[in-house]
Every structure is written in structure tokens, then in C-alpha cells.
A = this chain, B = another copy of it.
Amino acid sequence: MNCNTPTDIQFSFEGFTKRGGLTDEHADGWGIAFFEGPAARCFIDHRPASDSQIAEFIRQYPIRSCNVISHIRKATIGEVKLQNCHPFTRELWGQTWVFAHNGDLKNFTPSLTGDFLPIGDTDSEQAFCLLLQTLKQTFGTRPKGQAPKPQEIGQILKKISGEIAAYGTFNMLISNGEALFAYCSTKLEYIVRQHPFKTAHLVDCDLQVDFGQVTTQNDRVAVIATTALTDDEVWTAFQPQSFLMFQDGQPVSEFA
């Protein structure tokens, strides 16, 4: 989720976590990170999202944020352990970076120099480390507050993501709290909600919300997911092998 004003994700999270063991088979752990300025609250758990007390707590405790990344895991490479749960986090240029990946990569063993190394055993965390390593190699070490512009960062992320996607399926989200970047290898969809707000109904459980009741006219919220979370709104499918950058609740560039 990427927004122009801090927004809670209760509605989407309710349906999303159902896919972690109930309406879908992604039951090997889950996680969610909420940016708050340059820092993030990150909750991860190796239990199924549909049966996790931490997820239950998050469903009941609204946390408002302009950038949120959440993930439910279906283990392909790496055991069901905390160290293999997404989203993964690192620091670069005094900013928190958060990353989640849906898909799997075959024979992916990038040359990591040591500035960013995986803590767990997943192909995904290796990809994350490669993305950050390439950003650091490209733009150098920089003092806090002097990170490259999102547009510059996006160009590099797009290029490396395309290279990583040659190893398999690489649908991913990454954010530094300033923008949310999405690479679609095979499947991602998004929706932008803005005034005039309507009602929406979840795919994964019988829950409806009237966004008009919980927003102001100026709010704008983009939600990106592997498959649409609601069944009565029009979601936009990403083109395969495409890259989008979201800021203030909308896509701002296709980096064509």
C-alpha cells in the first residue's frame, strides 16, 4: 500500500491474511512492515497468517502509514523459519529498506560482496541483497538525508529486477519509505482509490467497507497485490516484465 496520507490497512489485511492458509496455500509464515518516517515497524511470524496471534493483533490494532509491505509465504527455497519470512529489512543511506517477493528463482547465486548478506536461506533475500548492493555500488555511500531521488533509484531497480527475473518468477515490492517500487515478472495488480470513494467487498471473506466513511476528499491510496483483494472494483493488471513506482498513492512512472 502506498498513500498520500497515513492510512490503516485493516480492510485489505483482513482479506490478505485469509490467503495465508485458508483461501490460499501461502501458510509458511507471513510479515508486514509499516513505514513511519525513515523507520518501520516490522512484524514477522513463521506461523500461518490465518492462525497467528500476532496477525490477529495486527488485524485489531490500526497502524497508519503511507507505505506498507506485507507478505504471506509459500516455502519453495528455505525452511519454515523466522529467518525466511518476508518482508526483509536493511538500512542504506540512513533509510530503512523493506522488500517482499512472490515467486521463486532457480540457480540464483548472485555474487554478493558482503555489504548486504542474507540472514536466512531464501532466494528472495539474496535478490534483496543484490538490489541494495547494486544501489550502493551505483550511487556510493552517502550521508543521511542525501539518498538519490526515487526516480534515479527506480531506474536501477528496474534494470536489476529484469536481470533477476531471468532466473524465474520475480514479482516484488520494495520501499525506502519515500516511494514504493514494484516489479512484475508474471502477475501483479493494483488499484488507486480516491475521491469520490465507494464501497468495496473482499474476495476472501464477506467483508465490505464504505471508504467514503473513513476518508477525506484529499486521500489517495494505491494497493498492489498479486491478485485483486476485492471483487467489486476494477483492478489494473501490470504488464509482465514491467516496473512501476508509486508515490502519494498513485503510479508516477512506468520507466518505459
A interface residues (Cβ-Cβ under 8 A, vs B):
36-45, 53-54, 57, 61, 81-83, 85, 89-91, 93-96, 113-120, 140-144
Contacts and interface: CB of A to CB of B under 8 A. Distances in A.
A15 B139 CA distance: 47
- The complex is assembled from copies of this chain, and their number is 2
A67 to B, nearest CB: 13
Contacts of A113: 141
B143 A119 contact: no
B91 A116 contact: yes
Nearest to A114: B141
A41 B52 CA distance: 14
Most chain B CB neighbours (cut-off 10 Å) among A89, A90, A91, A140: A91
A116 B96 CA distance: 11
A120 B36 CA distance: 11
A114 B135 CA distance: 13
Contacts of A118: 94, 144
Given A41-B82, A57-B57, A61-B53, A117 B96 contact: no
Nearest to A116: B91
A77 B53 CA distance: 35
A39 B117 contact: no
A142 B42 CA distance: 27
